[in-house]
Amino acid sequence: MPETRPRIGVFVCHCGKNIAGTVDVARVAESVSRFPGVVYATHYEYMCSDPGQALVQRAIKEHRLTGVVVAACSPTMHEETFRRAAEEAGLNPYLVEIANIREQVSWVHTGFPATEKAIRVARTVVEKVQGNRPLRPAEVGVVRRALVVGGGISGIQAALDIANAGFEVILVEKSPSIGGHMAQLSETFPTLDCSQCILTPKMVEAARHPRIRLLAYSEVEEVSGFVGNYRVRIRKKPTYVDPAKCNLCGECEKVCPVRVPNEFDRGLSTRAAIHIPFPQAIPSTYTLDAQNCLGIVPLRCGKCVEVCAPKAIDFDMREEILEEEVGAIVLATGYELYPKEAMAEYGYGTVPDVIDGLEFERLLSASGPTRGEIRRPSDGKVPKEVVFIQCSGSRDPEHHKPYCSKICCMYTAKHALLYRHAVPDGQAYVFYIDIRAGGKDYEEFVNRAMQEERILYIRGKVAKVFREGEKVVVWGADTLTGKRVEVRADLVVLAQAVIPSPGTEELARKLRVACGGEGFLREAHPKLRPLEALTAGIFLAGAAQGPKDIPESVAQASGAAAKAVAILSAPKLEHAPEVAEVQEELCSGCGICVPQCPYGAITVDEVAHVNEILCEGCGTCVAACPSGAMTFRNVEDEQILRMVRAALEAADVGV
Amino acid sequence: MKVNLAVYWTGGCGGCDVSFLELGPNLLGVLSRVEIVFWPALVDTKREDLERLPPRSIDFALVNGVIRTAENREMAELLREKTKFLGAYGACAHLGGIPGLANQAHGILESVFGPNFRPAPPIEGYPEDAPAQVLFEALPLEDVVSVDFVVPGCPPPAGLVARFFQAALEGQISLGQVFAEEKALCEECPRKREERRITRVARPHEVLLDGEKCFLDQGVVCMGPVTRAGCGAACPKAGMPCTGCLGPTPKAGDPGLAMLSALASLVRAGEEGEAAFPEEDKILDGFVDPIGTLYKYAFAKYARSLAQLTKRREGMRA
């Protein structure tokens, strides 16, 4: 704090008519000029304009100001502007404060009391700024490497963009291959490109990229540290196959006596315990699924080793724990479909010919269990009547998920259309609530499905689905005609709600990132910061943040990558110094503050410590600290009390 | 040269007077160096003796007990006049203490009998030896006279009493000094702190307590985090939570509010967010007797409504 008596300058902004139309700005300046500590007060048309800023700078020099109060709009608008201007004029920027007389006064009041309130608001901030200390932003170095969690299309795109910008990337994928759900899809709407054909080049690029280190079959165990300096523990599960030696001959798979449902085909086919998820898998190698193997320790079978010519199988392979340092993290953990088993009205997933959208994708896929022929799971017959049910589990706040899963209208249209191509004499029905086809060429695509492909769109909800003999009976209502509808179908496809992939919440906890009510990762601001988590240095991409289609996921991934690159390429990171601070002589180390911190910025040994870089200045710990040892820089209790007194004091508001 | 000492007992239980004995053999050393000029509990001294003393002739006076009657107030004022360094000794004089909890009863008679209710004086008038007039509320010493230092506790622990005497005999007392630590009790507490999350609020007899674990982690409200250290965490070491007798740490402010704020922060039901609020409210509903727990000693000093402040001013005039 300056030794001399305070010399505060107050600058009242008209903001055109925004403030001056309601508040008598001249009177505010005149009244404030008489407050103790104020040596200069004036008003001006637009303080944020260049001449307005120059006015402030001139006054700082001429009146040797020790503090500046700009009575204008919200500090979120121009605090930075005036602090920078003050710094140029030689005043520490943290001795500049904004008194918000626009959002909090002129816009919400009319008439005489507005001026009085403006004076009171200005006066409180004059009191506050007198207690401010000059501060300097904290600085920290950056580890120039990024971590991308999730190897779906979003994660691949983010990793490629960061790597192409010249930074190292660690790409962690929990399953044996990258590719994610996009690898399972048959064709993509609205262009009907083959999904794998457009995905696999990117997968290969990611695998071959000199700056991308791919860790498949791996999971993030623990994350500590802070923006620019995260420390990550990654658990790499053993695949028991050396990818360098494996030549993909597939002999092991043939001799393996185990058959379990194939996850990649959503259980529509089986696989051996030693398997490769799909032919183009990256890394291109077999994986021995230890859980389903007859036994490695002690070895019970070992048939695969006997036939492996390149001797790639190694039962002694152990789990590895990798410790890595990264500067930024992109979370792209993707989605899963809401389980059919939750759908009481559609038979709890027990009717074999009621399948979900991804299962139908596998049926459509040329590399799928039926080689692209549409055959239903129960008896392998080609279904002649197929019912597609949209919003299955979505937009149903009473029983299921309240939100719209966004991609189902489009993929259902695609499904119905591809079905009609595959089975020209088949009939497709689509039950829908509304069609939400907001996207480039999306509406046209749905119209094509409705009109050219003669798919029967029925507006209404399906009440019940049950099995009757060989048929799956669908009871619904057509709300346009008001009639009951019964379809005796051969196959029913549910457009299940999109939910966050399992483990998303656990990962979020490890990273101290918030999840929304439905478990999707929460962005820092729904409109202005959609790519960032609230924790600095962590970015979100793809369906982990909310249901998204491929182009949106790719766009968000590129955006998140750009944000990550901005951190990785900064010479140094600066952090606002207005954060929590421990008065160590008062702290007893009780630790009550620790769990309060949403950023994990507090550690305790003998006393509590705040990591200045991690602290975002929310003040929760200050409120929780029972002994008053936790304080907030430039928002000390004493300042708040002075402000309250100044706000409530009856005397001399000058009106 | 001996030091003149006065000790006086206003509205209290007498435990403070006994607490000097905790010094054990050291008490003899102290007594050999002080001249007791006034200590009704120990030597035969009367109010008249005190009145006869010249102003500021007592070096140190220790007042224990709350100010509850007009007579208490008169004696406190008299001692103030005669004393160089006047100290609040014990929680009652310091914060109002347990008798200060009586201030909760304000307005009970008024609410039953109407706003202008006053108890009628006896028909014959008050007898000469009638008990002293009871003040509107119990007051900490600092509300009636200026207090130079505090020896806190209920009663003050021997270590702090010894510390006071040492400072007093060496002439090392500074104005405003509190003979306890600036840090909170947790500093001295050997219990282990782990979870920092309360899922149930319980009283000590309602749970099987783990003697090694922090009380708060076991859902028992312990005032340790807001209370000055200095007693060596006597209660937590003996298996009971701190009740806050040494008073709040210098920056804690109102200890009840500080602790309530901390409790509200520690109570967690499930994930953060509004969905958890009803469940968290339910947990806090299990907090029996919040005033008696959070303000066991400090109610008179900190719990003041505007109406009470007005009444208090009137009471002072009466």
| A594 touches B: beta carbon within 8 Å | yes
Indicate the residue of B185, B187, B251 with minimum beta-carbon distance to A628. Answer: B251
d(CA A42, nearest CA chain B) in Å: 38
Whether B182 and A586 lie within 8 Å, measured CB to CB: yes
Asked if B252's CB is within 8 angstroms of A627's CB, the reply is yes
Chain A residues with CB under 8 Å of B225 CB are 588, 590, 592, 626-627
Residues of chain B in Cβ contact (below 8 Å) with chain A: 182-187, 193, 196-197, 216, 224-226, 229, 248-253, 255, 258-259, 261-262, 265-266, 268, 271-273, 275
pLDDT the model gives residue A653: 52
Q: Does the CB of A585 have a partner CB in chain B at under 8 Å?
A: yes
A17-26 tens-digit pLDDT: 999 999 999 9
Q: What is the pLDDT of residues B197-206, one digit of tens each?
A: 888 999 999 9
Residue A2's pLDDT is what?
Answer: 45
pLDDT digits (tens, 9 = 90+) for B159-197: 999 999 999 999 889 999 999 999 999 999 999 988 788
Mutate to test the interface with B, among A582, A607, A627, A632 (most CBs of B within 10 A): A627
Using the predicted structure, report yes or no on whether residue A259 has a pLDDT greater than 50.
Answer: yes
Q: Which residues does chain A have within 8 Å of residue B224's beta carbon, measured at their own beta carbons?
A: 590
- Residue B272: which pLDDT band, with cuts at 50, 70 and 90? low
Interface test with A, best of B185, B186, B215, B223 (most A CBs within 10 A): B186
Note the ipTM here: 0.82
Q: Where in chain A is the domain with CATH 3.40.50?
A: 8-135
User: Tell me, what's the pLDDT at B306?
Assistant: 56
Contact A620 B196 (CB under 8 A): no
Inter-chain CB proximity A637 and B185 less than 8 Å: no
Interface touch A627/B184, C-beta < 8 Å: yes
For residue B122, the distance in angstroms to the closest alpha carbon of chain A comes to 46
**Residue A372: both structure tokens together:** 């692209």
In this structure, of A51-65, A132-146, B35-49, B259-273, the range with the lowest mean pLDDT score is: B259-273
CATH of domain A145-237+320-334+501-568: 3.50.50.60
What are the pLDDT digits (tens) for A285-341?
Answer: 999 999 999 988 778 888 999 999 999 999 999 999 999 999 999 999 999 999 999
The pLDDT assigned to B59 comes to: 95
- Using an 8 Å CB-CB cutoff, list chain A residues near B262: 592, 624-626
Contact between B185 and A517 using a beta-carbon 8 Å cutoff: no
Q: What confidence category does residue B270 fall into, taking pLDDT thresholds of 50, 70 and 90?
A: confident
In this prediction, residue A300 carries a pLDDT of 85
Q: Which of B302, B301, B14, B303 is nearest to B154 (CA)?
A: B14
Nearest CA in chain A to B188: A588
Residue of B186, B197, B271 lying closest to A588 (CB–CB): B186
* Percentage of residues of chain A with pLDDT beyond 90: 87
B50: closest CA of chain A, how far (Å) = 40
- Interval B100-145: pLDDT, tens: 998 887 666 666 777 777 777 778 887 877 777 788 788 999 999 9
Range list for CATH 3.30.70.20 in chain A: 576-633
| CATH code that applies to domain A576-633 | 3.30.70.20
| pLDDT of A650 above 70 | no
> Count of A–B CB contacts within 8 Å?
84
**Residue-level pLDDT at B309:** 62
* pTM summary value: 0.69
Enumerate residues 505 to 544 of chain A having a beta carbon within 8 A of any beta carbon in chain B.
514-515, 517
pLDDT of B225 above 60: yes
Question: For the range B218-223, what are the long-range contacts, defined as Cβ-Cβ under 8 Å and sequence gap of 24 or more?
Answer: B221/B259, B221/B263, B221/B287, B221/B293, B221/B294, B223/B185, B223/B255, B223/B259, B223/B293, B223/B294, B223/B296
- Under the banding of pLDDT at 50, 70 and 90, the label for residue B317 is very low
Instruction: Please give the pLDDT value at position B133.
Output: 78
Q: pLDDT at position A630, please? A: 95
A603 touches chain B (CB under 8 A): no
| Ordered domains of chain B (ranges, CATH) | 3-179 (3.40.50.700), 185-287 (no CATH)
- R_g of chain A, CA atoms, integer Å: 31
Q: What is the pLDDT of residues B15-70, one digit of tens each?
A: 999 999 999 999 999 999 999 999 999 999 999 999 999 999 999 999 999 999 89
Over residues A264-281, the mean pLDDT reads 94
Q: Mind spelling out the 3-state secondary structure of chain B?
A: CCEEEEEEECECCCHHHHHHHHHCCHHHHHHHHEEEEECCCCCCCCHHHHHHCCCCCEEEEEEECEEEEHHHHHHHHHHHHHEEEEEEECHHHHHCCHHHHHHHHCCHHHHHHCCCCCCCCCCCCCCCCCCCCEEEEEECHHHCCCCCEEECCCCCCHHHHHHHHHHHHCCCCCCCEECCCCCEHHHCCCCECCCCCECCCECHHHCCCCCCECCHHHCECCCHHHEECCCCCHHHHCCCCCCCCCCECCCCCCHHHHHHHHHHHHECCCCCCHHHHHHHHHHHHCCCCHHHHHCCCCHHHHCCCHHHHHHHHHHHHC
Chain B nearest-CA distance from A655, in A, is 28
Over residues A590-618, mean pLDDT = 90
Q: Which residues pair with A187 in a beta bridge?
A: A194
Counting every residue written for chain A, the total comes to: 655
What is the reported pLDDT for B276? 84
Between chains, do A626 and B183 touch, taking CB under 8 Å as contact? Answer: no
Instruction: Judge whether A595 is closer than 8 Å to chain B, CB to CB.
Output: yes
Classify domain A8-135 at the CATH topology level. Rossmann fold (3.40.50)
pLDDT digits (tens, 9 = 90+) for A541-590: 999 999 999 999 999 999 999 999 999 999 998 888 999 999 999 999 99
Chain B partners of A629 at a C-beta cutoff of 8 Å? 183-184, 249, 251
pLDDT recorded at residue A110: 84
pLDDT at A95: 97
CA A520-A220-A156 angle, 5° bins: 70
Model pLDDT, residue A352: 92
By C-alpha distance, the chain B residue nearest A514 is B272
Q: Is the dihedral of CA B107, B112, B113, B118 positive or negative?
A: negative
- Report the percentage of chain A scoring pLDDT > 70: 99
Q: How far is A92 from chain B (nearest CA, A)?
A: 28
Is B186's CB within 8 Å of A594's CB?
A: no
Quick one: closest CA in B to A509, which residue? B271
Under the banding of pLDDT at 50, 70 and 90, the label for residue A655 is very low
Angle CA(A532)–CA(A534)–CA(A540) in degrees, nearest 5?
30
Rounded to the nearest integer, the mean pLDDT of chain B is: 89
> Per the structure block, which two tokens stand in for A332?
């792209």
A592 — contact with chain B (CB < 8 Å)?
yes
pLDDT at A651 over 60: no
How high is the pLDDT of residue A62? 96
Amino acid at B142: E
Tens digits of residue pLDDT in A66-77? 999 999 999 989
* Cβ distance of B226 and A626 shorter than 8 Å: yes
Measured CA to CA in angstroms, residue A172 lies from A155, A320, A490, B75, B156 at distances of 9, 13, 41, 78, 61
In this structure, are residues B251 and A583 in contact, taking their beta carbons and an 8 Å threshold?
yes
CATH topology of domain A336-499: FAD/NAD(P)-binding domain (3.50.50)
State how far residue A629 is from chain B, nearest Cα, in angstroms.
7
Q: Return residue ranges of chain A for CATH 3.50.50.60.
A: 145-237+320-334+501-568, 336-499
Name every chain A residue with its beta carbon within 8 A of the beta carbon of B233: none
> What pLDDT does residue B106 have?
67
pLDDT of residue B189: 95
